Structure 1
Amino acid sequence: MDGDTLYTIGDLARRTGLPVRTIRFYSDSGVVPPTGRSPAGYRLYDIAAATRLDLVRTLRDLGVDLETVRRVLAREITVGDVAAAHAEALDAQIRTLRLRRAVLRAVAKRGSAPEEVQLMHKLAKLSDEERNRIITAFVDETFAGLEVNPDFAAKMRAALPELPDDPAPEQVDAWVELAELVGDPDFRAAVRRMAEFQAEESARGAAPEGMAELTGITLAKAGAAIENGIDPASDAARPVVDELAAAYAGAFGEQDGPDFRARLLHRLEVGGDRRAERYWQLLAVINGWPVPPSMVPVFEWFLAALRR
C-alpha cells in the first residue's frame, strides 16, 4: 500500500484477514472511520486507516475491550498503560489456571469423590492470608493460656503454608490434607495435650537438656534394632531399652528404674502421635522444603519395647 492510494473494505479484509463485517462494524462504531467514499458510495480507507485497523486488531486479539481501544486511539490513555493493566490481569488469570490445573491433577491422582473435589478447589484457591489464618487459629488454640517453650511456640507460628503460584499436584494435595488435619478435633486435642504436658514439664523444671542429642541416640540405637530385625517384645530388645532409658534418665537428672520408665513411657506416648510429624511433613511439601525422614517407626519401636 502507498500513501496516496485508497482501499475498499474488501481490500482491507484481504490484507488483514479480518471479515468484511468486522471491519464494517469498526467503521460504523467510529473506531476506524473511512477516509472517504467512492462515487458509488463505497467506503474507502487510506494507509493511516489501515494502520489504525492493524492496531485495533492487535489490541482486540490481546483481550482489550472496544471502549478501551477507542480511548487509546483518542490518546486518552497510552498503549503502555493498557498493556500494564492487561498484563497484570493475565498474571492473575494464569495463576488461577495453574491452580485449577494442579487441583485437577491432584483430583485425578486421589480419585476424589465429588464432595472432596469441591473441598479441594475451595481450599486451594484461598489467599496466602486466608491459609495462614487457618494455621494461626490452630496454633493459637493449641497454646492458649499455656506457658510453653517460647522457641517452640515461635517455630510453630513462623511455619506457615505458602502455596506457590504454580503449585504441583502434590503441594495442593498436601495443603488439603493439612487443612483437614488442623480442622480435626481429635488432632487438635492431641496437640493441646502435648502443649499442656510440655508446659507442665517447664513449670516444674523437668524438661530435659540436650533433647536433640537424645533424639539422635534413639534414632541410632532403636534404628539399628529395627534393621537387625529385633522384636521390641523380645529379650534381645532389653539391652537397647536399658541403654536408651539410662540416657534419658541422665538427661532428666534422675535414676533409671521402674518409676522413671513409667514416666518416660507416658512422656513418649503423649508426644508420639504420628500425626504431629505428618503436620511438619505436609508443611515441608507445601513450602518446597526438604521433607525429613520419618522418625515415627523408631520411636514406636522404643515405645513398644518400654511397654514390655
Structure 2
Amino acid sequence: MEGDGLFTIGALARRTGLTVKTIRFYSDSGIVPSTDRSPAGYRLYDIHALTRLDLVRTLRDLGLELAAIRRVLDREISVPEVAATHADALDVQIRTLRLRRAVLRVVAERGSTPKEMDLMHKLAKLSEDERRRLVTDFIDDTFGGLEANPEFVAMMRAAMPELPDDPEPEQVEAWAELAELTQDPDFRAAVRRMAEYQARERAQGDTTGLHHDLTEAVRARVGHALASGIAPASPEAAPIVDDLTARYAETFDRADDDDLRDWLLTRLDTAADPRAERYWHLLSVINAWPVPPSLAPVFTWFAEALRAGTGSSSTAT
C-alpha cells in the first residue's frame, strides 16, 4: 500500500520505530486516526498521519501528557505554548528532586531517624513564601507591641531564609534547625526578653542604633586578649576593660562608674543566649552568606572581667 501513498500500521511502525500496539492505541484514542481502510478492513495511514505520529512521539519523549498532546494536535494551543508550560513544570520537578537529594545526603551523613528525616523533608519542601512566613511570625511574636530598636527589627525582617533551588546538604540541615529554633517557645521567650530590654532602654533615651563600631571594638580588643592568653581577672586585662567601659559610657552618654558596670553586665547577660547567635549563623549558612565569627567568647570574657572588678580604681570595687 505504500505505493499508493498510504501506509499499513506495520509500515508505519517500521518508519517511526513505534510498536504496532502503540500506534493502534493512538489510533483508537483519536490522536492519530487512520486515513482509510483496505478492502480487507486493515487501517491505512497517509503522510499527514505519519507526520502527526512523529510529533506525538517527540512530545511523548519530552514527557508531555496525552491530554496536552491532543490539544496541540487539535490546535487549541501551539507547540511553543505547551513547551513553555512543560518546561515550567519540569523546573518544579527538578527543584523537588534536588531538594530530595540534599535531604537524603543529610540523612545519610547524620544517620537521622525516620522521624527526623520526615521532619526535615516537610520543612525543606515549604515554599519560599511559607519559609518567610515562619520567620515573619517569629519576629511578629517576639517584637509585637514593643518599642524595640526599629533598625534591628528591620534588619531581621530583611534577613529571610532563601533556600536555593539546588541546596547543599548543610543548607537543608540548617533550614530544618532554623525552623525548629523559631518555633521553640523557650527561645521565643528569651528573644522576647531581649526585645523588652531594648524597649526599656529606648524609653530611657537609648536611640543609638546597632552600635556596630562598639561591637567591633569589643571584638578587636578582647579578641587580642584571648589570643594572648590574658585572663579576665588579671592586671593585664585592666586597660582593656577601662577602654571598653569608657567607650560604652561615651556611646550611651553615661557616667563611667560602678552603675555603668552594673548596667553593662545586665546588658551582656540579657543578650547572652547563644541561640540568638545561632539564629544568625543558620541564616548565613542557608543564604550562603559569609558566616560571621562567634562573638560569644569575647563577650563572655568581657562579662567575666566586669564581674571580677577588673579595671581602674575609679570603676572597680
TM-score by length of 1: 0.90
Is contact 1:163-1:286 (8 Å) kept? yes
1:14 and 1:199, CA in 2 relative to 1: closer, same or farther beyond 3 A? Answer: same
| Aligned residue in 2 for 1:261 | 261
1:190 and 1:41, CA in 2 relative to 1: closer, same or farther beyond 3 A? Answer: same
1:189 aligned onto 2:189: yes
Give the SS at the match of 1:188.
helix
Unmatched tracts of structure 1, length 5 or more: none
Aligned AA (1:262): D
Q: Which whole-Å CA distance do the structure 1 matches of 2:66 and 2:207 have between them? A: 70
Q: Which whole-Å CA distance do the structure 2 matches of 1:144 and 1:210 have between them? A: 19
| Aligned residue in 2 for 1:272 | 272
| 1:191-230 paired onto structure 2 within 5 Å | 191-206=191-206, 211-230=211-230
Q: Which whole-Å CA distance do the structure 1 matches of 2:225 and 2:3 have between them? A: 90
Aligned AA (1:82): V
| Aligned residue in 2 for 1:304 | 304
Tell me by how many angstroms 1:4 deviates: 4.8
Per-residue CA distance 1:73-112 (angstroms, 9 max, x = gap): 2323322232222222222222222222222222223322
Q: Which whole-Å CA distance do the structure 2 matches of 1:31 and 1:212 have between them? A: 68
Aligned AA (2:109): K
Q: How well do the aligned residues superpose, as a CA RMSD in angstroms?
A: 2.3
Aligned AA (1:97): L
| Aligned residue in 2 for 1:164 | 164
| Aligned residue in 2 for 1:48 | 48
Per-residue CA distance 1:135-172 (angstroms, 9 max, x = gap): 11111121122112222222222222222222222222
User: What is the number of residues matched between the two proteins?
Assistant: 308
Q: Which whole-Å CA distance do the structure 2 matches of 1:77 and 1:3 have between them? A: 34
| Aligned residue in 1 for 2:315 | none
Aligned AA (1:270): T
| Aligned residue in 2 for 1:239 | 239
Is contact 2:261-2:306 (8 Å) kept? yes
1:30 and 1:201, CA in 2 relative to 1: closer, same or farther beyond 3 A? Answer: closer
Is contact 1:241-1:305 (8 Å) kept? yes
| 1:93-112 paired onto structure 2 within 5 Å | 93-112=93-112
Aligned AA (1:218): V
Is contact 1:245-1:261 (8 Å) kept? yes
Tell me by how many angstroms 1:209 deviates: 7.6
Is contact 1:210-1:251 (8 Å) kept? no
Greater shift, 294-303 or 74-83, is seen at 74-83
Is contact 1:120-1:176 (8 Å) kept? yes
Per-residue CA distance 1:25-75 (angstroms, 9 max, x = gap): 222223222333444443333322211111111122223232332332232
Give the SS at the match of 1:44.
strand
Q: Which whole-Å CA distance do the structure 2 matches of 1:210 and 1:185 have between them? A: 26
1:209 and 1:12, CA in 2 relative to 1: closer, same or farther beyond 3 A? Answer: closer
Tell me by how many angstroms 1:178 deviates: 0.9
Q: Which whole-Å CA distance do the structure 2 matches of 1:276 and 1:189 have between them? A: 12
| 1:10-159 paired onto structure 2 within 5 Å | 10-159=10-159
Q: Which whole-Å CA distance do the structure 2 matches of 1:274 and 1:150 have between them? A: 22
Identity of aligned pairs, percent?
66
| Aligned residue in 2 for 1:251 | 251
Give the SS at the match of 1:126.
coil
Give the SS at the match of 1:18.
coil
Q: Which whole-Å CA distance do the structure 1 matches of 2:39 and 2:10 have between them? A: 17
Tell me by how many angstroms 1:210 deviates: 8.3
